[in-house]
Chains A and B, each alone.
Chain A
Amino acid sequence: MEQQEVVKSASLWKDAWKRLLKNKLAVFGLVVVVITAIAVIIGPAIIRWTTGYTYDFIPPDGELIKSFPPSLKHPMGTDDSGRDILARVLQGGRISLMVGVISTIVSLIVGVSYGATAGYLGGRIDNFMMRVVDIIYAIPYILIVIVLLSVFGGPNTPNWIQSIAGLVGGGNTAGLSQIVLLFFALGLVSWLTMARVVRGQILSLKNQEFVMAARATGVSTPAIIFRHLVPNALGPVIVYATLTIPSVMLSEAFLSFLGIGVQAPFASWGSLAAAGIKNISVFPWQLIFPGVTMALTLFSLNFLGDGLRDALDPQTRKF
C-alpha cells in the first residue's frame, strides 16, 4: 500500500522562503534593507523632533567655516552650508530608494509585457522585437535619459507625473516633478535585460500542455500571455527585479554625479556624494558618510538578489 499520510504540500513560495532563510548573507541583506527603509521613512521626522534639524535647515549664524566634523550633535557632521548630513542622508535615502523601486516597477511593466509578447508570438515578430532591443542597447542610456528629461521636463511635464510628485512631496510639487520624471526615464532605459529574461522564460514555457489547453478552450492571446505564461515566469522576474534595484540606484547616482540627476535643495545619495567629492581633501566626512551608506545598501540589495536567485531558481544555485 502506498503511504496514506497527509503530507502538507510545501508551496513553491514557502519552499523558496525557507531556502532564503537558510542563506545567512541573504538574511543579512534583507535585514539591512529593511532597517534602511525604516530609517529613511521615519528618520527625518525623529531628527526634526529631537534636534530640530531638517535636510534643508541652514543655521543662521555667519561663521566662516560651517562644515564641522562628526560630533554628538551631528553624528555625520555638517556640509558646506552647515546642514546636518545625517538628516540629508536620510532624506536623500528616500529619493535613492524611491528611484530604485519606482524605476524598477516601470522597467518591470515594460520589460515583462514586451518580452512576453515577443516570446509568445515568436517568429518574425519576435525577431523584429528583439532586434529593436539590440539597437536600443547600443544607444548610450545617458542620451536617452537626457532627451526624456528635456522633452518632458519643465512646462511639458505630463499631469500624471505632477500628481505623483504631489503624492511623494505631500502637495509640494516644485522641483519634485523633475525627480519623478527621472524615475520614469531611468525605468524606461532599464527594461531591456528584463525583456530578454522574460522572453527566454516564455519560449521555454509556451509549448507546454497548459498553454495548449488554454488555447484549445478559446482563451484570448493577451490572456494567455498575462494570466497563464507570465505568472509561471515570475521566479526569474523577481530575481532580476531585485538586481535591477541596485543597478538603477547606481545609474541615478551616476547621473547626479554628472549634475543631470537630482538637483538642490533635494538630495540623493548620489548627489550628496558628488557634492562631497569636491571637498574631499578638507571635509572627507561629506563624501564618506553618504558614500558608505549607499554602498552598504547596494551591497545588501545585491546579496538579497543573489539569495533570491538561489532560493527561487534551484537549478542555478551554487552547488
Chain B
Amino acid sequence: MLSYIIRRLIIIIPMALLVVTLTWGLIRMAPGSFYSSEKKLPPAIEENIRKKYGLDKPVIQQYGIMLGNIVRGDFGDSLKYEGQSVNEIIRRHFPYSATIGILAYILALIVGLAAGIIAALKQNTVADYGSMSLAMLGLSVPNFVLGPILVLIFSLWLYWLPPARTGGVSSYVLPVITLAAIYAAYIARLTRAGMLEVMRSDYIRTARAKGLSEWKVLMKHAVRGGLIPVVSFTGPALAALLAGTVVVERVFAIPGLGNIFIQSVLNRDEPLILGIVAFIWIKIMILNFLVDIYYAFFYPRIRYE
C-alpha cells in the first residue's frame, strides 16, 4: 500500500515537468510574440523588449530559467497585467472560480445521484425515461445557450434573480445551475448504469435474502458498489471545470480564473499561461491521487488494474 502511494507520488514530478515543457513549447511554436501587434515596433525598441524579458538569450537557456523559476514556485510577472505577479493574479481570481465550481459540483452530485438512483430502481418506467431524457438534454444544451436562456427567463421576464454578479448570494444561483447542468447529467447516467449493474449482483440477492429492508439493501450495499464510476468521474469533472467556468464567467460577468486563462492565451502572456496550467494541473493530480487512494483503501480489487 505504502509503495503504491509512493510510486503514484513520484510519477507526478516527471509528468509535471513534461506538461510545463510541452505548454511552453506550444507557446513558443506559435509565430509572433506577446509584444507584436498591428503596429510594427522600431527595431531598437523591439531589441530592448527582448533584452528585458530575456528573449535574446539562447532558447535552451530561456527554457532552463523558466524551469528553474517554476521549480521554486515563482512564475514571475504577467506580461500583460504589468507589475502583477502570476501568483498574485491566481490567488485573486481563483476563489471565484472555485466557489462556483464547488457549489456546482455539489449541486450536480445531489441532483445526479438522486436522478440516477431513482431511474435505476424504477427501470423502464416514466420516471426512468423522464430523468434520462432530462439528463440527455443537459448533455446536449451548450452551457452558453443555457445560461443566457436562464437569464432571459428568471432575470429579464420574471425579475427573480440578478443577471450578473452583484456580490449577493442570489447572484450565484444562475451561474451555479448553468455550470451544474452538464455534470448532473453525466453523474445521473453513470449512477444509473452503475446501480443497474450492482442491483443484479449476487451480494445484493444475499442481502435481500437475509431479510434486510429494501432501504437498507440500497443504502448499505448497493450504493457503495454502484457509485464507483461516479467517484472516478470526480477528477475529470473538476478538470473540465476550467473550460466550463470560462463560459459561465463570461455570461455572468464573474472575475474568475477561467476568463483570465483565455485572455492570457489570447494575449500570449507566457508566464500567466504556464502558471495557470501548472496550478490547475497540480490540483487535478492531487484530486486523482486522492481518488486512487480512496479506491485502494475501500476497493482493494481495483488497485492494480
**A interface residues, Cβ below 8 angstroms from B:** 25, 131, 134-136, 138-140, 142-144, 146-147, 150-151, 156, 246, 250, 253-254, 257-258, 260, 270, 273-274, 276-277, 280-281, 284, 287-288, 291, 294-296, 298-299, 302-303, 306, 316, 318-319
| B31 interface residue per 8 A CB criterion | yes
Choose from A139, A254, A291, A306 the contact partner of B19 (Cβ within 8 Å). A139
Nearest B-chain residue to A277, judged by Cβ: B148
Choose from A134, A142, A144, A151 the contact partner of B262 (Cβ within 8 Å). A142
**Residues of B close to A138: CB separation below 8 A:** 15, 19, 277, 281, 284
| B45 interface residue per 8 A CB criterion | no
**Residues of B close to A131: CB separation below 8 A:** 15
Stretch touching chain A among B58-66, B84-92, B139-147, B166-174: B139-147
- A-contact bits for B118-158, CB 8 A (1 contact / 0 none): 00000100000000010011011110110011011000100
A303 to B192, CA, bound (A): 16
Stretch touching chain A among B216-224, B243-251, B295-303: B243-251
Say whether B277 contacts A280, CB under 8 Å.
no
**Residues of B close to A140: CB separation below 8 A:** 242-243, 261, 265, 277
The A contact surface, by secondary structure, is helix
Say whether A295 contacts B142, CB under 8 Å.
yes
Say whether A254 contacts B136, CB under 8 Å.
no
Given contacts A142-B265, A143-B26, A146-B265, contact A151 B144 (CB under 8 A): no
Pairs across A and B, CB under 8 Å, 29 listed:
A135-B22, A138-B19, A138-B277, A139-B23, A139-B277, A140-B261, A142-B265, A143-B26, A143-B273, A150-B31, A151-B29, A254-B142, A257-B247, A258-B246, A260-B266, A273-B142, A273-B144, A273-B145, A277-B251, A280-B151, A280-B152, A280-B156, A281-B152, A281-B156, A288-B149, A294-B142, A295-B140, A298-B141, A303-B136
Q: A146-B266, A147-B30 are in contact. List 11 more A-B contacts (CB 8 A).
A: A134-B15, A138-B277, A138-B281, A140-B277, A146-B30, A147-B27, A257-B250, A287-B145, A294-B142, A298-B141, A306-B136
A223 to chain B, nearest CB (A): 31
The B contact surface, by secondary structure, is helix
B19 to chain A, nearest CB (A): 5
**Residues of A close to B144: CB separation below 8 A:** 253-254, 257, 273-274, 277
Nearest B-chain residue to A132, judged by Cβ: B18
A257 to B262, CA, bound (A): 12
Given contacts A280-B152, A302-B140, A318-B196, contact A143 B19 (CB under 8 A): no
Q: Which 10 A-B pairs have the closest CB atoms?
A: A291-B145, A299-B140, A298-B140, A295-B141, A150-B30, A147-B26, A138-B19, A257-B144, A147-B30, A277-B148
Nearest B-chain residue to A258, judged by Cβ: B262
**Residues of A close to B29: CB separation below 8 A:** 147, 151
A144 to B265, CA, bound (A): 10
Number of chain B residues whose Cβ lies closer than 8 Å to a Cβ of chain A:
44
| B200 interface residue per 8 A CB criterion | yes
A258 to B266, CA, bound (A): 10
A143 to B27, CA, bound (A): 8
**Residues of A close to B193: CB separation below 8 A:** 316, 318
| B43 interface residue per 8 A CB criterion | no
Nearest A-chain residue to B128, judged by Cβ: A318
**Residues of A close to B247: CB separation below 8 A:** 254, 257
Say whether B137 contacts A299, CB under 8 Å.
yes
A246 to B193, CA, bound (A): 21
A171 to B148, CA, bound (A): 38
B263 to chain A, nearest CB (A): 10
**Residues of A close to B242: CB separation below 8 A:** 140
Say whether A246 contacts B32, CB under 8 Å.
no
**Residues of A close to B246: CB separation below 8 A:** 258
Say whether B145 contacts A250, CB under 8 Å.
no
